[in-house]
Structures are given as C-alpha cells and as structure tokens.
Amino acid sequence: MTDIIQLLPDHVANQIAAGEVVQRPASVVKELLENAIDAGASTITLVIKDAGKTLVQVIDDGAGMSTTDARLCFERHATSKIKSAEDLFSLNTKGFRGEALASIAAIAHVELKTKTEASEVGTKIVIEGSQVVSQDAVVTAKGTTISVKNLFYNIPARRNFLKSNTVEMRHIIDEFHRVALAHPQVGFTMMNNGSDVFQLPQSNSRQRIVSIFGAKTNEKLVPVTEETEILKISGFVIKPDFARKSRGEQFFFVNDRFIKSSYLHHAVLAAFEGLIKDGMNPGYFLFLDVDPKSIDINIHPTKTEIKFDDEHAMYAMLRSTIKHSLGQFSIAPVLDFNRDAGFDTPYEYSKKSPVTPTIEVDRSFNPFKKEPSQANIKFPYQREKTSSWESLYVGLKDDDSELQSGFQNIEFESEEVTGKLFEKETEEVGQTTFQLHNKYIVSPIKTGMMIIHQHLAHQRVLYEELLKNITVQEAVSQQLLFPLQFHFSKPDIEILKKIQEQLEQTGFVFSSLKEEAFEISGIPVSIVESSVGTVLEQLIKDIKEEVPDAGFSQNDLLAKSMAKSMAVKTGVPLNREEREHLVNQLFACKEPSVAPNNKTVLITMNVNDFDKKFS
C-alpha cells in the first residue's frame, strides 16, 4: 500500500491558518491594531479604502523592529510575546500565537516599513502571497507602517463571500471601537476613503466613550467601581431609562482585551432586574482586571472568549457591584433602615428657603390685674339656645307613612328563565371576526374557519404600503407641534444620512441632521409619535446586520424593518372595527398569505376536520 499522508507546503499551510485568523477585513484591522498596542505606540492611525478590500494601513509610533525582526515576523509561529508553554497562562499582551502576519501575508499584498529609535535607517519589506518580493533600507519615522492591499486576491472564492462595503465597514468600526475603548491612553485616528471618521485624542475612559458615542452619552453613564482580592471592576453602565431593544453599547474587557461572555452578560441583566422592561437591553462598558493565571484566553481563534477559574464568584461580584452603583447614584430604589425619616424635610418645604422666626409680645399684659369671671365672657360666634327644636320634626310621621305606602305598591319583575348557557352575550351581534388570546383573528368562512396572525398580517399590510410610498413617493406626513430630537452615534447618523431620502418618501420630515443629533418635525400617518425612536433604532440595527447595495433591495429592507417595528404587537386587544379593517386590508394586498419575512400569515381549517374530531 502506498503512503497517502504528506506534508503541506508552507504557502498552503499559511492559507489554511489564514482561514482561522482572517475571516474578513475587520480581522486584519484587529490584528494590526493589537500589534501596534503591544509595540507601545502612543498614537495610531488606521487608513481604510473600499471597506478594507483594497487597503488596510496601520501607522504607529511604537518601538519598531530591527531588520532581522522585520523579516522574521512574517514566519509562522514567530512571536516576541511568549518563550515557553508556561507563558500562555500569564499573558499581558494581545497577539501571541505568531500566525497573524504570516496568515495575512499569505492572502494579500503586504508592505512593511519599520524603524527602531536606535537605528539610523529603517527597513522596507514587500511580500505577495507569502513570497518576499523585496527587502530594502528606507528612510522612515520611528515606529511601524504596515499596508495590507488586495485582500484575498489569490483566493477569489473567499473574496466572493465578503459582504457589501457598508457591512464590512461596520465590522471594521466595531473592531476599532473595541481597541480604542480598551486603551484610552492611546490616541487614535481613523480615515475611510480619504475622509476622517474618528479623531480620538489621549484621554480617560469616560472621555473616550463620549468621543466615540457622542456628547449626549455623558449624562447616561453611571460609574461602577469595586476592588477585591480576585477581581477589580471599573467602568460604566448606562442608566435604565436609556435601555434599548437592540444590543448596542455592550462591552466587556478583561485585562484590556475585549471579550464576549453570555454568562457575565446575564449577571448584568440580573443587576438591572426590575429596572428595565422585558426585551430591553442595558448598555455597559465594564473593565475587569484579574490575575492572568486565573484565566485561559487560548480557547478560541479570535480570542474573544475566555475561561475563568471561578465563574460563580465573578458573576456574584459583578451583579452586586452594578446593583450597588445603581442604588448609590439614586437610579434604583434603596431601603436604608438606619435613617430616621423624621429628620427629612417635608416635600412642601423642600424648595422653600428658611425664614427667621419672630416673637410677638403683649405689652399691655399685667399679671396682677384681676381677670373677669368666665360667666361674663361672651364668645363672638356663640349661638343662642333655641327651644324650637321640635319644629324640625313636624310632619315627619306623615311623610313616613306616605313613603311606606309607596314601597308597598312597588312590583318586582321575576327573572326570566332561559335556556342560554351564558347570562349575556360577550360578543356583539352580527360580527364576523373574533380575537383569540389577543394574538389570532378568527374568521368563519364558507368551508370552515380561517385563523390570521395579527402581527404578521399587519406587517404584510404595512410592508406593501411603505414599499409603494418609497417607490411612487406618495406618502402622507403628519406634522408635529413639537419636533422630536434624537441623539445617535456618528456611524448611526451616517447610516441615516444615506437613507434620508427613502425615509422622507415614507413620511418622515427631517428639520435638521447634524453629526450627533437630528430633529424630526413630521412622521408617517401610520406611526405613533412615542414609537419613532424604537422604529429608527430597529431600522439602524437591521441595516448594520444586512445592508444591501443601493437600489430596490435597500428599499425592500427599509420597508421590511419599518413594517416589523410599526406592526401591531402580539397581546394587543383589537375591537371589531379594527379586526375587520385589518382583514380587509390584508386581502387587498398582493401576497396576503405570506409575511415579508416569508412566514405564514393565515391558515384555514375545514369543517370536515372538525367532524372527524367528534366522530
């Protein structure tokens, strides 16, 4: 039998490793930014072109590399972060596997310029598909500049799996946020297609959060601080009033490394229990410092999942710390049994200033003067006694006899005994629709019965109406007496600017649209004023997750998202007119049996099916 196992060539092994390390342009951004942080950079510049497909460039002023290190960093398993297996359990740096640059160089054109402070000239290396094209001495500033061009140029199948530029840019911004939030002491600049996206100076954690998510974020933050022997917690949680349906600003950092942990997220939800509605998500920026030996971060290729030695203790401390912070800053109600409520200022006097008391003295008072007897004192409001009280009851006996005779003439109707099961009708006579569990609309038909899902049915109605308004531009808008103001992050505002025209065609009227805030003076007729914020948040979330290219597909997504947010929810009772109107609107649609998300809207049940059940 011939041997069938063989060693893979280096370029094939690198491409396989790249499949784990580099999934999309955002993966390259993450690896390069973390390398710049490990190099001790104080300022980092990220340059993006075509959502990273054409160029990802990171410029830092860190320690730089020597000529030998510059060549060696592109080899597999080459790293300066660890020297033995024991170092894996006491990591204080980001990248440590030594496969990032080797994997990136295997599937892109890479150009590296680097120089140490002690060197007079730097080194420039050009690599294409793991092959070193050139290596020269070059004049460059202290630090490292690495450019990754034409990602996946030699693996077209992987390039075809990339999403649209807007989606890929959203992932790049997410990675940029994670690194920038974890290192506020480092200044960051991000440029996309020649224009500035973020200018983040060196600052503290609070200022960094405000710089990224907007000035209005400052008033939403509640500081969280706790330090124990095994854990140090710092950071901020967002006030319960600003909880959102989408999972937006939720960041966990362990030893300045961004992680995802559903277990710790549940601890935060437990701390907010009773303060936010079901289905709402609190925001948080929490930094956990633990002993590196008590965690294992080498359990996932992207290093976003870690394992703790004692998860239960972490859960309990995180929950209690957040609860304490919410109570300390009067966000959550707190009972203090040691406080004497008698010393509290009454509510009606809480806003009044104190007044100096005055003393009135009766200067004509003479203690030796003989006071008059009580018999001679007359009270000003004393009523004289009268002896005519009997006149109040004159004629009462006659009236009483007439009243009693009147009661004797009253006749009581006997209750009619009927054969009905219920005493009164619960539904109006002549109606053709009924509501079941405030979720389904039941309507009798000739062959049996039809059951309609009210939420999905309303989605279909609104979807076709919105799509028609966007296409034909015939939407009706209702003007608001007081304009609505909203504050979103810069990336969210950019998304709204791109779809502003389509939103205006659905009935929205934007009176102003600035960098971090916008004002709405008109809304569609079919939307409630109180739900405008929820509709826009859901729309931005859907666009982030699946942004199609411009054209009909973008209009379709916008109509689907708005219909989902505006449709009547499950559990809402509908009266007869509302039910019948919804049914009539549904059957006026082009596709009444299918919702915009391809779910079934209605089902029919035949009378024969019922007959079989009773046979």
Distance of CA 110 to the CA centre of its chain: 37
Domain boundary among 200, 234, 253: 200
**Number of folded domains in the chain?**
3
- The reply to whether 174 and 153 lie within a common domain is yes
If asked whether residues 177 and 261 sit together in one domain, one would say no
What does the pLDDT read at residue 425?
A: 45
Q: How far is CA 260 from the centre of its chain?
A: 15
Let me know if residue 344 belongs to a domain: no
Q: Decide if 389 is inside a domain.
A: no
pLDDT tops 90 at residue 347: no
| Token pair listed for 506 | 């659905």
Global pTM exceeds 0.75:
no
Contacts 24+ apart (CB under 8 A), 10-16: 10/76, 10/130, 11/106, 11/129, 11/130, 11/131, 13/76, 14/76, 14/102, 14/103, 14/105, 14/106, 14/130, 15/106, 15/107, 15/155
Same domain, yes or no: 566 and 596: yes
Q: Are residues 152 and 274 in the same domain?
A: no
The answer as to whether 171 is a domain residue is yes
Sign of the torsion formed by the C-alpha atoms of 10, 13, 14 and 15: positive
Write the CATH number for 214.
3.30.230.10
As a whole number, mean pLDDT of residues 605-612 equals: 85
Per DSSP, what are the bridge partners of residue 240? Answer: none
141 domain residue, yes or no: yes
- With contact defined as beta carbons under 8 Å apart, do 538 and 246 qualify? yes
Predicted pLDDT of residue 503: 86
Q: What is the pLDDT of residue 549?
A: 47
Residue 562 shares a structural domain with residue 578: yes
Residues 56 and 190 in one domain: yes
pLDDT digits (tens, 9 = 90+) for 27-44: 999 989 988 998 889 999
How many angstroms separate the CA atoms of 281 and 251, rounded?
A: 12
Higher pLDDT, 504 or 354: 504
Mean residue pLDDT across the chain: 81
Same domain, yes or no, for 122 and 219? Answer: no
Residue ending a domain, choose from 200, 215, 240: 200
Give bridge partners of residue 604 from the DSSP assignment: 450
Q: Does 566 reside within a domain?
A: yes
Tokens at residue 426, please?
Answer: 């619960």
Residues 85 and 35 sit within 8 Å (Cβ to Cβ): no
pLDDT in tens, 90-148: 556 665 555 788 888 888 999 999 999 989 999 999 999 888 899 999 999 999 999 99
d(CA 446, CA 435): 19
> Residue 518: pLDDT above 60?
yes
Q: How buried is residue 34: exposed, middle or buried, by Cβ count under 10 Å (0-12/13-18/19+)?
A: buried
- Residue 306 contacts residue 254 (beta carbons within 8 Å): yes
> Sign of the CA dihedral 223, 227, 233, 239?
negative
* 59 three-state secondary structure: strand
| CA–CA separation, 571 and 579 (whole Å) | 14
The arithmetic mean of pLDDT across residues 507-532, rounded, is 84
Residue 413 lies in a domain: no
Q: What is the pLDDT of residue 492?
A: 82
- Out of 62-76, 163-177, 427-441, 451-465, least confident range: 427-441
| CA–CA separation, 572 and 310 (whole Å) | 44
Quote the pLDDT of residue 149: 94
DSSP-derived pairing of the beta strands 307-308 and 295-296: antiparallel
Based on the fold, state whether residues 265 and 117 are members of the same structural domain. no
Question: Which residues constitute the domain of residue 267?
Answer: 207-328
Distance CA(411)–CA(407), nearest Å, equals 9
User: Are 32 and 174 contained in the same domain?
Assistant: yes
Q: Are 477 and 441 in contact (CB under 8 A)?
A: no
pLDDT in tens, 273-301: 888 888 888 999 999 998 888 877 765 65
Highest mean pLDDT among 361-375, 409-423, 440-454, 541-555: 440-454
Determine the average pLDDT of the residues in 457-466.
90
CATH number of the domain enclosing 17: 3.30.565.10
Residue identified by tokens 């410092």 is: 289
Q: Answer whether 32's CB lies under 8 Å from 149's CB.
A: no
pLDDT digits (tens, 9 = 90+) for 548-575: 544 457 778 888 888 888 888 888 898 8
C-alpha angle 245-247-252 in degrees, rounded to nearest 5: 145
76 in a domain, yes or no? yes
pLDDT at residue 397 above 80?
A: no
Mean pLDDT of 384-392: 60
Domain-located, residue 564: yes
Which domain-ending residue is among 328, 359, 391? Answer: 328
Q: Distance of alpha carbon 117 from its chain centroid, rounded?
A: 44
Same domain for 250 and 169? no
- Residues 217, 83 within the same domain: no
DSSP codes joined into one string, 427-476: S-TT---EEETTTEEEEEETTEEEEEEHHHHHHHHHHHHHHHHHHH----
Beta bridge partners of 123: 114, 137
**Hey, what are 92's tokens?**
């204080």
Q: 3-state class of 289 per DSSP?
A: strand
Instruction: In whole angstroms, give the CA distance from residue 487 to residue 216.
Output: 7
Claim to verify: residue 234 and residue 268 sit in the same structural domain: yes
